[in-house]
Amino acid sequence: MTQQPMPRGTTSGTPTSSAAGTRLDPWLGSYAERTHGMRSSEIRALFAVANRPEVVSLAGGMPFLDGLPLDVLSDVAARVVAERGLQALQYGSGQGDQALREQILDVMALEGIEAHPDDVVVTTGSQQALDLVTRVFVDPGDVVVAEAPSYVGALGVFRAYQADVVHVPLDEHGLVPEALEETLGALAAAGRRVKLLYTVPNFHNPAGVSMTPERRPRILEIARRYGVLVLEDNPYGLLGFDREPWPALRSLDDDGVVYLGSFSKTFAPGYRVGWAVAPHAVREKLVLASESAILCPSNAAQISISTYLATCDWRGQIKSYRELYRERRDAMISALTEHLPDATWNVPDGGFYTWVRLPAGLDAKDMLPRAVTARVAYVPGTAFYYDGAGADHMRLSYCYPTPERIREGVRRLAGVVAGEREL
Ligand code: PMP
């Protein structure tokens, strides 16, 4: 008897439960377990609309690049190809370009980090570093402890590796040490394996707050006591408005922290260059994981950034970004004060985001379609929680629109909020 091929869209010969699903995707029965956690954002469709020019988008975290010296950068691009083209267009080291890794030390020194170039692994944005660290440490069912709320892109990675995320509250001083202690104690008592403590200590995405210098050693001490590796994600640390950067967690602890940095917010995300700094043995694993994913980061991008750092005033560029974003933060806060006095929010002293709590009874996710119709977009708070909490919050970003557009966006938002109350 000839064996019949198994129909597509079945698992072990069992037809899939959804006939429509089978029609839409003939491979439905073949996907790996881990893909069940990979969710497309429910709000993606709305964002396609939000990107229309008539909509004021307070949703995305896109840096404002118009201030970049494009003439200088086109000279850099020409030099990279003319002078180092054969290297720039070739495969490179899995760990990343040696000269760039040395320059990254100068960037990190601004936050008190002392490291060796061998400690650095260059990645395709810090997003890839999040993926690598999770791949190296997390088995399905392991716990990742993360702030409540947490960066949506990190939650997506944790979900993809089937981690169980347990949130710990933040307040205006960052992650709350007592709550961390209590959560880790309870997880230990329940016999759970906690692999990572994920934190964005500076100008948090989405909460806008920073972990105070007093709290940093306490958080490290608690994590160390419970044997939990700290994953310090720091793309915004150099973008403070009124103060110099606070010492990185990694500057206080060499072997209990994996630090992630990025050129996306301080320079330009299109190069897709970020990095991880990790204890020696961990770094070896990250390089192996990265080689299996991408062989090596882009030499063309790394050499472009390395040339930029060597020949341009990158510190001046960061200073001008800080001034630009401070002006936009001011526009956001004054517009909120004027138009949404019943909401509450924090005043971020750096970074891109304000975290707004709506007047009682309003649901930001529910309201989003009406906001988009009123030509303003934001990210509902639910995106930043593993468990769907946060509906009474929204993230408003002030990085991309001009101050006038920010004011107009908040004015439109206030109109939507007023309309909700009448519903
Ligand atoms: N971490 C945080 C907290 C972020 O906000 C972002 C970008 N929005 C990333 C990581 C990823 O940045 P990139 O991959 O561009 O370096």
Q: pLDDT tens-digit profile of 77-125?
A: 999 999 999 999 999 999 999 999 999 999 999 999 999 999 999 999 9
Question: pLDDT tens digits for 52-81?
Answer: 899 999 998 999 998 899 999 999 999 999
- For residue 271, the tally of other CB atoms under 10 A from its CB is 18
What is the CA(310)–ligand 1 centre distance, in A? 24
Atom 5 of ligand 1, residue of closest alpha carbon: 205
User: Are 138 and 158 contacting, i.e. CB atoms less than 8 angstroms apart?
Assistant: yes
pLDDT of residue 38: 80
What is the CA(217)–ligand 1 centre distance, in A? 24
pLDDT at 337 over 50: yes
pLDDT band with cut points at 50, 70 and 90 for residue 49? confident
Residue 212 DSSP label: -
pLDDT at 364 over 60: yes
Question: pLDDT tens digits for 215-248?
Answer: 999 999 999 999 999 999 999 999 999 999 999 9
274-277 and 143-148: which strand pairing?
A: unpaired
pLDDT at 17 over 60: no
Taking the CA atoms of the chain, what radius of gyration do you get in angstroms?
23
In testing the pocket of ligand 1, which one of 132, 210, 233 has its CB within 8 Å of the most ligand atoms?
233
What is the CA(321)–ligand 1 centre distance, in A? 17
Q: Which residues of 112-122 are buried (b: 16+ CB within 10 A; e: fewer)?
A: ebebebebbbb
User: Are 180 and 145 contacting, i.e. CB atoms less than 8 angstroms apart?
Assistant: yes
Backbone φ and ψ for 156, nearest 5 degrees, come out as -60, -40
pLDDT at 287 over 60: yes
In testing the pocket of ligand 1, which one of 151, 258, 384, 397 has its CB within 8 Å of the most ligand atoms?
151
pLDDT band with cut points at 50, 70 and 90 for residue 353? very high
pLDDT of residue 43: 65
In testing the pocket of ligand 1, which one of 205, 234, 258 has its CB within 8 Å of the most ligand atoms?
205
**What is d(CA 75, CA 73) in angstroms, rounded to the nearest whole number?**
5
| Pocket around ligand 1 at a 6 A CB cut-off | 61, 125-127, 151, 153, 200, 205, 233, 235, 262, 264, 269, 274
What is the CA(353)–ligand 1 centre distance, in A? 13
Which ligand 1 atom sits nearest the alpha carbon of residue 127?
Answer: 14
In testing the pocket of ligand 1, which one of 126, 239, 379 has its CB within 8 Å of the most ligand atoms?
126
Which ligand 1 atom sits nearest the alpha carbon of residue 126?
Answer: 16
pLDDT at 4 over 70: no
Which residue type occupies 211?
M
Q: Which residue in this structure is represented by tokens 């944005």?
A: 125
